[in-house]
């Protein structure tokens, strides 16, 4: 497996662009919970980033405990790391792509350093005036984007554990809002809560089924 590297970043550093922010999101396909974006600016030095190689990868290929280790390493090495989130009702109102870009903008807004160039996983950010590059398979190619994916995923998992306490009975701490068989069963049994994305087909189907059942139970006038 090819690990993310600094090829894209080093090309920019060589041109005098020092503050390169990688961006990625977590929770795009989840049925419930927020969409979270991470933003990370690594130091413009391969030597200073060496501690991240092999530890920081696309968050999807890391186990939870590996992501926690990677997140701590990123926070030690990075010049800046931040995350921003978009609530489920905003995802419903905006649609996934616009919500994704809003999460990126919110992460950039709280980044403690001012980025000069953006490297984004797949997406572009036309609302942002900064020079940028949308990178296909970015979290597998760019160390900055992979670091952002880890920050986003760890932040979102922590949020989902808190939300599991606030909205018990849906197993959010286990499945993190994704469409697992257990989540599907609980959704069918309990119906959606405020954290569920009503624009997603499985949630809409559950709502329609519940409304149909209620109509069937209603007394005829």
What is the Cα–Cα distance from 96 to 131, expressed in whole angstroms?
A: 23
- Residue-wise pLDDT tens digits, 54-86: 999 999 999 999 999 999 999 999 999 999 999
- Whole-number pLDDT of residue 176: 97
Q: How many CB atoms lie within 10 A of CB 12?
A: 20
pTM, entire model:
0.93
For the chain, which residues make up each domain, given as ranges?
A: 7-213
Question: How far is CA 128 from its chain centroid?
Answer: 19
CB 145 within 8 A of CB 119: yes
Top-tier CATH class for 7-213:
alpha beta
Name every residue whose Cβ is closer than 8 Å to that of residue 150 and which is 6 or more positions away in sequence: 38, 56, 57, 59, 62, 67, 70, 71, 74
161-183: buried (b, 16+ CB within 10 Å) or exposed (e) per residue?
Answer: eebbeebeebbbeebbbebeeeb
- Residue-wise pLDDT tens digits, 99-133: 999 999 999 999 999 999 999 999 899 999 999 99
């Amino acid at each position: 497996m090819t690990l993310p590297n600094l090829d894209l970043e080093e090309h920019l550093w060589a041109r005098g662009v020092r503050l390169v922010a990688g961006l990625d999101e977590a929770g795009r396909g989840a049925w419930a919970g927020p969409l979270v974006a991470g933003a990370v600016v690594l130091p413009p030095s391969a030597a200073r980033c060496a501690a991240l190689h092999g530890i920081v990868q696309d968050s999807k290929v890391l186990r939870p405990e590996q992501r926690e280790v990677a997140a701590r390493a990123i926070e030690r090495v990075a010049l800046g790391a931040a995350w921003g989130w978009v609530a489920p009702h905003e995802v419903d109102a905006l649609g996934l792509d616009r919500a994704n870009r809003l999460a990126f903008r919110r992460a950039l807004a709280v980044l403690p350093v001012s980025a000069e160039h953006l490297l984004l996983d797949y997406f572009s950010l036309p609302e942002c005036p900064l020079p940028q590059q949308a990178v296909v398979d970015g979290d597998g190619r760019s160390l900055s984007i992979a670091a952002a994916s880890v920050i986003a995923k760890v932040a979102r998992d922590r949020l989902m554990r808190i939300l599991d306490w606030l909205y018990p009975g849906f197993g959010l701490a286990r499945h993190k809002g994704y469409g697992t068989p257990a989540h599907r069963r609980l959704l069918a049994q309990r119906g959606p809560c405020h954290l569920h994305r009503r624009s997603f087909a499985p949630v809409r189907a559950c709502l329609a089924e519940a409304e149909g059942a209620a109509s069937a139970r209603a007394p005829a006038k």
